[in-house]
Amino acid sequence: MNMRILGIETSCDETGIAVLDDELGLLSHELYSQVKLHADYGGVVPELASRDHIRKIVPLIKKALKDADTNAQQIDGIAYTQGPGLIGALLVGASVGRSLAFAWNVPAVGVHHMEGHLLAPMLDDPKPEFPFVALLVSGGHTMMVKVEGIGKYTVLGESVDDAAGEAFDKTAKMMGLDYPGGPLLAKMADKGTPGRFDFPRPMTAKPGLDFSFSGLKTAAANSIRSEKLDEQTKADIAYAFQEAVVDTLAIKCRRALKQTGLKRLVIAGGVSANTMLRMQLETMMKKINGKVYYPRLEFCTDNGAMIAYAGLQRLKAGQVESLSSKAKPRWSLDSLPAI
């Protein structure tokens, strides 16, 4: 049966809405970023994020439906981000999504935010075939997952402290860059001199697939404090920092592929837009005759399209949320039911 889904994403500081049709594909997607709202504070303020989602969510839903040339009667189901994320922000999307589903008499399903990222490359062709190894790298999460099917996830390793994107943002903040600093630091690194600074590749000398970026952040902080910070020095530190993160992620990917015997790698989440990371993983996968897949750039960061896609698969499999649906600020990926 063909289905048309409304997807709602409100886990942090972006309001994402999308309309996805099982046969016709993505009909519309809207994204409102709260970056300017939080920039003065140097990070996301949860209460302000929740309030802004409340202001933006209904106008964005109306616009997404209009752009998709779709009315309420044509929607067959609603998918919303149930977790993990900021509890107040999640509650906005969950309550609006569940209420609309009740009003329109259609099923609703709560989607795991990281499952949305993991399946985001499926929005385009060619789609990666199962099984594959997925590297999920964003501001809030860094994890390596073996994916055998939708809901068949084995978390192979994750960050024991800061996520990769968080380390990027914090290091950028120490350099005086605006929030969110990760993309600005990556841009600054383009002008950096290779080899002037050498930072550690954390947890790569010992076996295992867990990540740690706090020591790397400290090494960068020490250089920032001890050096005379002209623009070139900043760029050189940015280059060394980015190179260390990318090398660490690539080493762990290579290790995960060897451990699982797989040749397909999916990389998703905000940091998957990083050019140096993409280039290094492309080179690595060519050497082993493997293939790497990523979402298109607009679907690397949080968005409603990925939630609509993940929700569509679960609704088609008969998974439906009850009226008493709850937001889940903490929610392990490998606890999801297989479909």
Tell me the domain boundaries of the chain. 4-119+299-335, 130-294
What's the rounded Cα separation, in Å, for the pair 244 and 223? Answer: 14
Q: Which residues of 285-321 are buried (b: 16+ CB within 10 A; e: fewer)?
A: beeeebbbbbbeeebbbbbbbbbbbbbbbbbbeebeb
141 is in an annotated binding site: no
pLDDT of residue 171: 95
Over residues 282-294, the pLDDT tens digits come to: 999 999 999 999 9
What's the rounded Cα separation, in Å, for the pair 177 and 294? Answer: 27
State the burial class of residue 204 (Cβ atoms within 10 Å of its Cβ: 0-12, 13-18, 19+): middle
38 is in an annotated binding site: no
Return the CATH class of domain 130-294. Answer: alpha beta
Strands of the sheet with 4-9, listed across from one edge: 25-33, 14-21, 4-9, 77-83, 108-112
292 is in an annotated binding site: no
169 is in an annotated binding site: yes
245 is in an annotated binding site: no
| Averaged pLDDT for residues 20-48 | 95
Average pLDDT over all residues of the chain: 96
pLDDT at 323 over 90: no
302 is in an annotated binding site: yes
Confidence of residue 139 (pLDDT cuts 50, 70, 90): confident
324 is in an annotated binding site: no
137 is in an annotated binding site: yes
182 is in an annotated binding site: yes
110 is in an annotated binding site: no
Q: Which two tokens stand for residue 265?
A: 């790698």
Confidence of residue 180 (pLDDT cuts 50, 70, 90): confident
pLDDT of residue 140: 85
Write down the residue that tokens 């050498």 correspond to. Answer: 198
Domain 4-119+299-335 fold:
Nucleotidyltransferase; domain 5 (3.30.420)
Over residues 286-315, the pLDDT tens digits come to: 999 999 999 999 999 999 999 999 999 999
29 is in an annotated binding site: no
What's the rounded Cα separation, in Å, for the pair 150 and 313? Answer: 8
| Averaged pLDDT for residues 141-146 | 96
Strand 142-149 versus strand 291-293 pairing type = unpaired
Percentage of the chain with pLDDT > 70?
A: 100
| Averaged pLDDT for residues 182-210 | 95
What's the rounded Cα separation, in Å, for the pair 20 and 117? Answer: 16
| The model scores a pTM over 0.85 | yes
What's the rounded Cα separation, in Å, for the pair 275 and 261? Answer: 26
Confidence of residue 212 (pLDDT cuts 50, 70, 90): very high
